[in-house]
Structure 1
Amino acid sequence: MRTAATRLLTGSALTAVASACLAAGPAYALTAADGGSLEVYPSSVTPGAEVTANTTACGSGGTASGDASAVGAGAFKLAPTTHKEDAVGQFKVPTSASPGTYAIRAKCAEGAEVSGDLVVTLTASAAQPVHPKGHVKTGVGGALGPDPVQTAAGVAALAVAAAGGTWLLHRRARGDGI
């Protein structure tokens, strides 16, 4: 018999797995007449990302010419691989790409044409984290601030305090008192 804590942990784990699967997003594809399609992965990217396109529409050992000019990436080649008769190619989304949905197309050497959708966003999905770049402005400056006069005054105040503290400790050690 399961306890409430066990059910809660099991439910939480299943929710986390389902969320991770949904966050990765499906690869959108349109099917060709012969049953093949063009899969675009990842299906949602930010400008500057690398995208992989693959299809089984070209058959075993087939090649294809890809067209990503809709997003500004131009032509790319799809070549056969060892994975289930796939033809695979890659292209890079230009950093100047605007957000939107773009049709990526491929034409097999035998004539079959397939296409898939690529979504360009300005925010990264959970599958592609974006790391911060640059300096953090916290309001705490370095040792040499914008005003050298204030820096010199601060150094002088610290020197006077250190000298006074040393003098008082020396008098106390000799027994002169304060």
Structure 2
Amino acid sequence: MERLTGRYKEMVYYARCYDGTCNDYCHNETFKCEEDALNRLAEYEDTEITPEQILQLDKLYSEKCRELAEYKRRLQKEWIPCSERIPEEGKTVLVWFEYFRYGNYNKPFQTWGISYTIDETWSGFVNGQSGWKDLKILAWMPLPEPFKETIRDCKDSKRLAEREKFFRD
């Protein structure tokens, strides 16, 4: 934003008068600097927003941007190419893989599944099965945290208490 005013300690001045762009407006009878400043002030006052409210809006906007970034980070896990790295030994992960599919396809086919690594290589098992023709795991990502039902999620709190007791015993 082009400022029409400047500040020096407690003084306010017309910025153009001191930076050399005034072109003698302040010294002729039209007083262009005052007119510009008054127009800008009127536009600001038309918004009916105080400086304090602007600072609050700016703070709120920054907070919401951070919250949105965190939300995206949690929801939007990225696929990790196998060429970059593979997961920890024995850790079950979501995989994007390719295998040769017979029948109508009779060509490589890509889909997703669940797999894990053994001795720093893929186990050969996807979705609990082996024997995939020309299996090639292309990328992977960690599985999300398992769903845990809470009283808020469950309309019947007695049913939830029974489930928790069942799983504890």
TM-score (norm 1): 0.29
Higher helix residue share: 2
Q: Which structure is richer in relative contact order (CA contacts within 8 A, separation 6 or more)?
A: 1
